[in-house]
Amino acid sequence: MKTSDLLTLLDQMDQKGAWLFTSQMLKLLLNESDRACLATINRASKSGILRQVHKGIYSNDRAKSKPPHAAETLSLYLKPGTLSYLSLESRLSELGIISQIPSRLTFMTTGRSQTFHTAYGTLEFVHTKRSPEKIMPDISMDQQRGIYVASPERALKDLRHVGRNLDLISQESADEIHH
């Protein structure tokens, strides 16, 4: 595919809110043979039109639809088919329950534990044995970011359950959560 055609296609996808693509999505959009598709993706990556953010996942960084919380959106592509939600240190930090800002985004997931080092930062997924039915009452959808987030109580319980460092949590903050 010619560069001008690819840019037109990416602009059209941007108008529909799409800025992040898997290799499979690009293959469908480009409508090329496997070999030609790979060549187009490689050429676009080298020229900066597409950015490989993780193996098999690409972003159109010039897209106007790219949200300010790109890493959170990326989490949906890294663990498809699982229920994941922002929790642990990341959630407690944004709630002001711990003062330190974590160096990675921390999620609980019904999938397996994994850590991904991506172009948008490190995302850590910690497995939970809890079923989606038991998880749902303790999480809510953050409409702005398009991801599930833990309630303060759930994030604290998750931190304790997985045996993470509790020293960052003040007793006052923990007491406030439980009342």
Q: CB–CB of 152/138 below 8 Å?
A: no
Annotate 138-168 with three-state secondary structure: HEEEECCCCEEEECHHHHHHHHHHCCCCCCC
Low-confidence ranges of the chain (pLDDT < 70): 165-168, 170-179
Both tokens of 137, joined, read 């009452």
Q: Give pLDDT, residue 100.
A: 81
Q: Give pLDDT, residue 118.
A: 96
In the numeric block, the tokens 């959630």 are attached to: 91
Q: Give pLDDT, residue 107.
A: 98
Q: Give pLDDT, residue 97.
A: 86
Q: Tell me the β-bridge partners of 118.
A: 121
Taking Cα atoms as reference points, which of 102, 125, 128 lies closest to residue 115?
Answer: 125
